[in-house]
Structure formats: structure tokens, C-alpha cells
Amino acid sequence: MAQNSRPSETENTPTTGRNSSLTRRNYVRSIAAVATAATTLGVAGTATGQTDYELIEAENQTITIGSGETWENKLIDMTTGQDIIVTAHGEDWTVRNVGFAGENTSGTGSATFGISDSGGSSTIENVYLGDGSDERNGSSSGHGQTAFWVDPDHAGHIDFQNVNIQGFADNAIYASAPGNAGGGTIHIDRCFAANCYVSHFRLATAGSKVTNSSVYINEEGYQGRGIWAWAPGTIEVDNCQLEMNGQNVAIDAGANGNPTEVVVTDTDYDEQAGVGENDGSTVQLGDDVGTDPSAFIPDGTPTSAEEAAAGDAN
């Protein structure tokens, strides 16, 4: 769809107490558990918790959300081998309690979500995209499937809360396009992204921030940047854990000859992956920034598609 088109690339130790009680062993178990999600979809309209959800089979359809609308409690069956695109534009819309079960296998190299807010404040919360995309959408050079694409015309504000994204080939949250266009802001809070390529959280506009979130890389391939800040910035990073295991760059600032600024507080990043300051950019590391990261899945963030659809993580 046109609204989802994207420019080329050139445009067993506990975690820290301040983040979560989740141990590394439990974390690995939670990642492995998502592989069984596709075989435990349940019956449409029912859930393991108190909230009902609707089962939707992916069949190359587009779902459109407009101003003031709420789209919630959906379990998307991706095991059909087909695609599904969700577009949300306008003002003050909400996407809540949505889980995608199974890999995206369509090979379209598009975006699962194409979103913008034209002047209000919209919300994406409790969404699971942890099963990623298969090899047809996951080349090591990127340019495959994106989880969330923020349109250049985005002029309002979008909050991402408790979103779990793993295994996407072309950015987890690709939100840099409004930087020199619509100028809208993004706040990524209590979110988790792992094993994506190009970047995990990609922002550009002043007032945009990543807080209380984690990036984790533990697999070969898809070694995307942890946080990529484009112009004009300034981008804020607070209370995050960027466990890159030496892959790519933990915090990368600047692109396409344009500088930006990143202000980092109360965060740990992988020193081997390091910090990149390109095109005259600066990354300001506060006194409370360390180099011993321990990735965590924030409390309230779903670890399976069914959990997201039912709202059980809330």
C-alpha cells in the first residue's frame, strides 16, 4: 500500500532491580515459548483470560483505523502464509491488545503497521510481534519486513507502550521519516525489541524518546543498531538496557550528512558495540550511564500473541 512505502536505507543472572525481576533463564524460556503460539491459537472470540478477542486469519487484507477509533483484542493468525497490513491515520486513534501468531511469510517487504497522527495523540499498547518474519522477509542486508512504519506526514504524537518486536529485517519501529517532514513525536516506553536488522528503535524529531525499554541481540544475522537517532533531534534515552553482544552500534546518531543530538540517562549500553557520532552529531552520556547492560522484558509487555490479544499482560 502507498501509505506503507518506505525510502531506501539512505534516507542466568537477574536483571537490574530497577527494571524487572525477570531472570536471564526465564527470558530465554519466554523467547522459546513463542514458537508454540501458532499451535495454540484457541477458538475465535475466546481467551484464557477475562477478555474476549477476535481471531483474524491473514489473507492479504488491509485494515484501516481512522480518527478516534480503537482497534483492540485481535489475534492475527500469520500461519496462513499470507500478509496483513494495518493502517492507522488521522487523530487520537488507539491500537490495543493485538498479537501476531506465526512468522510473516509473505515476502512483500512491506510494513505490518503504517501509522501517523495528524495533530492529536494516538496510542499503541500491548502488542506482540515477537514471531518476526521468515527468510523471504529477512535478508541480512535488510530491506525486508518492518514492524511499524511511521509516515513522514506524522505531525502529532504517538505513544508506544508494552510492545514486543523480534526478528524483523528492516527496523522494528521505523519512526525517523517525520524528522524533516511532519515533525511529529514518538515516545517508546516499556517496550522490547530483539534480533532485528537495520535498527530497533529509529527516531528523529525533537521531543521523541525511548524510556524503560530494552534492545537485545543474541542471534547471528539481523544485527541492527540499538537506537538510531536521525536529524534534527534531540532524542532522549532514559532507563534503557541495550545488550548488543558486540553487534553493530548501541546508540547511533546522525545520518545522510545531517547531525543530531542524543541525551542518555540512567541507561546501560554494550561498550563493545559502542556509540556512534556521525556527521557532527553528539551523544551526551550522563553520569548514571553504564556499560553492563542486562536486557529485560518490561512488566506488562506480552510474551505471546495470545497473551497480547487477551490483554493478560496488563
Residue 16 has pLDDT above 60, yes or no: no
Instruction: Tell me the pLDDT tens digit for each residue of 212-259.
Output: 999 999 877 667 999 999 999 999 999 999 999 999 999 999 998 999
Domain boundary assignment for the chain: 54-310
Q: pTM of the predicted model, to two decimals?
A: 0.85
CA atoms of 10 and 176, how far apart (whole Å) = 12
Spell out the SS3 assignment of the chain: CHHHCCCCCCCCCECCCCCCCCEHHHHHHHHHHHHHHHHCCCCCCCCCCCCCCEEEECCCEEEEECCCCEEEEEEEEHHHCCCEEEEECCCCCEEEEEEEECCECCCCCCEEEEECCCCCEEEEEEEEECCCECHHHCCCCCCCCEEEEECCCCCCEEEEEEEEEECCCCCCEEECHHHHCCCCEEEEECCEEECCCCEEEEEEECCCEEECCEEECCCCCCCCEEEEEEEEECEEEECCEEECCCCCCCEEECECCECCEEEEECCEECCCCCEEECCCCEEEECCCCECCCCCCCCCCCCCCHHHHHHCCCC
Least confident of 138-147, 276-285, 287-296: 138-147
Share of the chain above pLDDT 70, in %: 78
pLDDT at 37: 37
Q: For the residues 125-139, what does the mean pLDDT come to?
A: 81
Instruction: Tell me the pLDDT tens digit for each residue of 167-176.
Output: 998 899 999 9
pLDDT at 48: 42
User: Domain 54-310 belongs to what architecture?
Assistant: 3 Solenoid (2.160)
Residue tagged 546501560 (cell numbers): 268
pLDDT at 54: 97
pLDDT at 219: 74
In terms of Cα–Cα distance, which of 75, 187, 81, 176 is closest to 128? Answer: 75
Instruction: Give the type of residue at 59.
Output: E
Which residues pair with residue 243 across a beta bridge? Answer: 216
Instruction: Place 114 in a pLDDT band, splitting at 50, 70 and 90.
Output: very high
The CA–CA distances, whole Å, from 174 to 69, 198, 199, 219, 297 equal: 23, 10, 8, 21, 20
Instruction: Tell me the pLDDT tens digit for each residue of 187-210.
Output: 999 999 999 989 999 999 999 999
